[in-house]
Amino acid sequence: MNKSEKFLREFGLHESCYDFDAHVRGFEDEMEAGLSGRKSSLLMLPSYLGVVPDDPPAGEVIAIDAGGTNLRIALVRFTPGSQPVIDRFEKYRLPGSDGAVSKDEFFARIAEYIGDRTEESENVGFVFSFPCEILSDLDGKIILFDKEVRVDDSAGALIRVELNAAFTNMGKKPLKVTVLNDTAAALIGTALTRNVHGMGGYIGLIHGTGTNICYYDPDKKMLINTEAGGYSGFSQSVCDIEINAESDNPGDQLFEKMVSGAYFSTVALKAARLAAREGVLGPETGGALNSLDGLEATVIDAFMRGGASRETELGSLCATDEDANALYEIFEGLYERAAKLVAIAITAVLDRSGATAANPGFVVAEGSSFSKGFRFRERFERHILAHAKEGKPYELVLADGHVLIGAAASVFL
């Protein structure tokens, strides 16, 4: 065992610190508690939506994706017998991602960005990528903002009501708004474009700025938003504990803070600095790491894809090749831990959805941390398949930007 692996194990950052099967059972227990109305770190929120819509009627729908840091707005055009077309697409910084805004300002700016698309459609599919209770009338009641987005006095606000109030203030008529979660939108949009029917289960995974999972529950006969990022059953390292304490919402979204894109680079930097203090990295390298104001995921990925090259931005901070290799091994271990924890959660949801090797589930993954994280998909699938007892229980596809299509299609479900 080399010194990097010894360090990861000693400080609870190694994937072996998490027993796969035991944690699958723990995640399933929390799912059942949430579904039964008992106290749970998984909210298990009903969506009141199915998965695969019939061919939508001809027409246009305004699609809004309020993600972790970005706001995407488009007009989606449906023509029977043809694939949906995304038109008039624009991307903005999400209000509240660059500093706190008021609730009224948040919705006023979204209404402003929607602009004259309201002249082409009065139907809106609104993806809200934060904890939100979907009501039976398909409005959404905000629970909280996470991923370090700040919108003051927003808890309990109704999304449709607030957006239409903003339109009224602009002298425009109210719109027909359907609210759904990003996992549901990714799943619905991808299922529609691929015409998927008869699978053993349907699961949507978001692993980007944040981390979340939804699935079609055969008993509830609707999509359930697990709010997986809130799961509290994974033991936390000292780095995770520090990040939680320093966050805008300490005590919430503990799983998300361990693995998602909004936090992973901070976990990595804290682990690297801790390794320097423990003598795993030399003092000169430690000093260079301590001088950083922060660390971007793209910088970590470039270092990893460069094979610990000291010619990369991050590698240039390492005083020796030995330090560069040790830092590479530490980050390799953190990627492995993140992939294993997400694989545990998906395995539990596959079990609950009814998917089997004989009748696999349809898993849709969306998010840059999943698709671009260093060998993330490879690691994720390896952990699932190592514990699949009867063969591969899923078919995995990337959402490939289908969130906006899913948002628009939701108005027809």
DSSP secondary structure string, 85-129? EEEEEEEEEPTTTTS-EEHHHHHHHHHHHHGGGGGT-SEEEEEE-
Residue scoring higher pLDDT (69 or 232): 232
Residue 261 scores a pLDDT above 80 = yes
Q: Are 308 and 327 in contact (CB under 8 A)?
A: yes
* Strand (E) or helix (H) holding 366: strand 361-366
Full domain range(s) for residue 369: 3-42+197-398
Asked if 214 and 361 sit in the same domain, the reply is yes
Q: Are 407 and 64 in contact (CB under 8 A)?
A: yes
**Strand ranges for 149-278 from DSSP E:** 151-152, 176-180, 201-207, 211-217, 222-225
Token couple for 201:
């289960």
pLDDT (mean) for 131-158: 93
Written as one letter, the residue type at 329 is E
Same domain, 235 and 358: yes
Q: In this structure, is residue 29 part of a structural domain?
A: yes
Average pLDDT over residues 40-57: 88
Q: Please, are residues 391 and 230 in contact by the beta-carbon 8 Å criterion?
A: no
In this prediction, residue 311 carries a pLDDT of 96
- The CATH number covering residue 274 comes to 3.40.367.20
Q: Is 197 exposed, middle or buried (0-12, 13-18, 19+ CB in 10 A)?
A: exposed
For residue 248, name the pLDDT band (cuts at 50, 70, 90): confident
In a domain, 53, yes or no: no
Question: What CATH number has the domain bearing residue 111?
Answer: 3.30.420.40
Those residues whose C-beta lies under 8 Å from the C-beta of residue 16, and which sit 6 or more positions away, are 9
pLDDT of residue 67: 81
The mean per-residue pLDDT over the stretch 32-50 comes to 96
Q: Are residues 262 and 133 in the same domain?
A: no
Alpha helices in 130-181 (DSSP H): 159-169
How confident is residue 82, by pLDDT bands cut at 50, 70 and 90?
Answer: confident
Q: Which residues contact 8 (CB under 8 A, 6 or more apart)?
A: 14, 271, 330, 333, 334
Confirm whether 54 is domain-assigned: no
Per-residue tokens: 309: 């090259």
Let me know whether 227 and 344 are in one domain.
Answer: yes
What confidence tens digit (pLDDT) does each residue in 223-233 have?
999 999 999 99
Whether residues 253 and 394 fall in one domain: yes
- Give me the mean pLDDT over the 304-311 stretch: 96
Tokens of 234: 């994974």
Q: Give the number of domains in the chain.
A: 2
User: Is there a single domain that holds both residue 269 and residue 286?
Assistant: yes
For the chain, percent of residues with pLDDT exceeding 70: 99
Shared domain check, 376 and 255? yes
pLDDT above 70 for 172 = yes
Average pLDDT of the residues of the chain:
94
Domain shared by 178 and 76, yes or no: yes
pLDDT recorded at residue 53: 63
Average pLDDT over residues 185-200: 88
Q: What pLDDT, on a 0 to 100 scale, did the predictor assign at position 142?
A: 96
Instruction: Say yes or no: 310 and 406 in one domain.
Output: no
